[in-house]
Amino acid sequence: MGEFELIEKFFKPKAPAAQAGRVRLGVGDDCALLAPAPGMELAVSSDMLVEGRHFFADVDPAALGHKALAVNLSDLAAMGAAPLAFTLALALPPQRAGDAGWLAAFAAGLHALADAHGCPLVGGDTTAGPLNICITIFGEVPAGQALRRSGARAGDDVWASGTLGDARLALQALRGQQTLPPAALAAARRRLEWPTPRLALGQALRGIATSCIDVSDGLAGDLGHVLNASGVGATLEVEAVAGLMAFPQAAEQRLHHALHGGDDYELAFTAPPSAREAVQRAAQAAATPVTRLGRIDAEPGLRLAQPGGARTPIAARGFDHFADGCC
């Protein structure tokens, strides 16, 4: 199968996109043409997944297609943006390019999530090379209303959606570093391989949250980006953070995974205490649970408050691809 046949067969969307009004031209020309609605700003983000670094070579290809798009949708969610369209730059080793079953499953996982969010594939590039999947996503957000990292203020509450640390637990199990009961492994593995981008929550938080980020490299590191961008610090309640994991484990490990795990794709955000009810209403409207974890402080740095009140500093540091290991 040649490059163009492969694109036509697996990646050109079959059905006219739900967002067809915004996509004037999709796959097939030198550029796609997008027409964001008047008064909207374009939100643009890229994320790359590399075999052996972000995923195991034998991962379910449908899950890989899903995750490649999900991590990009998660960036739109973190800005409070709604998806418009995406492009896919794909390097495929010859054995994958010749494996129609693998490609069909990968494309099915990708298109299913794209269809669920009315976010069609409108172009890309395809080449031979080590397996590498790079998606660029385009979204729109009312001008001036994007949720930035820089808006957290002393006195704001710190919140997180969903659960944190479960994906990391699955990774430990898949690496053979930990054994889990089969049902717990299956559930944790679903969190690692089929993340849910929190788009409805991100959009519902526009005008409520003062800052927002998606948690891809661990809460401590990602919240650290918010603290740096906003010029503030934070204190998190140890019990609230350790309570975020869906699966029972030793308390210390729960805390470590929730803070430093990665691959959660939940939202961490801040809002003033006066907005607590508004946050809960937004969470309800988005059918996404949220938990209040602590407080933004004027004093820089990230701290954990123990139940007795003692405060211990924690490194506001997440996964670093150059400093840390491989998958």
Cβ count within 10 A of residue 203: 22
Binding mask 70-109 for Mg ion (x = CB under 5 A): ----------------------------------------
* 27 forms part of the interface with ligand ADP (CB under 6 A): yes
* 280 forms part of the interface with ligand ADP (CB under 6 A): no
Burial call 263-294: b when 16+ CB within 10 Å, e when fewer = bbbbbbbbbbeebeebbeebbeebebebbbbb
CA angle 318, 324, 327 (to 5 degrees): 100
Residue 249 contacts residue 318 (beta carbons within 8 Å):
no
The one-letter code for the residue type at 140 is E
* 65 forms part of the interface with ligand ADP (CB under 6 A): no
From 80-88, 119-127, 157-165, 170-178, span contacting Mg ion (CB under 5 A): 119-127
* 3 forms part of the interface with Mg ion (CB under 5 A): no
Residue located via tokens 């139940």:
307
Euclidean distance between the first and the last CA atom of the chain, given in angstroms as a whole number = 31
* 29 forms part of the interface with Mg ion (CB under 5 A): no
Rg (CA), the chain: 20
Cβ proximity to Mg ion: between 134 and 244 the closer is 134
Cβ proximity to Mg ion: between 125 and 299 the closer is 125
* 247 forms part of the interface with ligand ADP (CB under 6 A): no
Residue located via tokens 């046949």:
5
Residue located via tokens 């710190």:
158
Residue 32 contacts residue 129 (beta carbons within 8 Å):
no
From 20-28, 121-129, 238-246, 291-299, span contacting Mg ion (CB under 5 A): 121-129
Binding mask 79-108 for ligand ADP (x = CB under 6 A): ---------x-x------------------
Q: Which residue is nearest to Mg ion (CB)?
A: 125
* 192 forms part of the interface with ligand ADP (CB under 6 A): no
* 29 forms part of the interface with ligand ADP (CB under 6 A): yes
Cβ proximity to ligand ADP: between 136 and 253 the closer is 136
Cβ proximity to ligand ADP: between 30 and 252 the closer is 30
Which DSSP state fits 7?
I
Residue 128 contacts residue 91 (beta carbons within 8 Å):
yes
Task: Report how far residue 137's alpha carbon sits from residue 76's, in angstroms, rounded to the nearest whole number.
Answer: 8
From 26-34, 65-73, 76-84, 217-225, span contacting ligand ADP (CB under 6 A): 26-34
* 123 forms part of the interface with ligand ADP (CB under 6 A): yes
Q: Which residue is nearest to ligand ADP (CB)?
A: 123
Residue 245 contacts residue 165 (beta carbons within 8 Å):
yes
Q: What is the contact surface with ligand ADP in residues (CB under 6 A)?
A: 7, 11, 27-30, 88, 90, 121, 123-126
Q: What is the contact surface with Mg ion in residues (CB under 5 A)?
A: 125
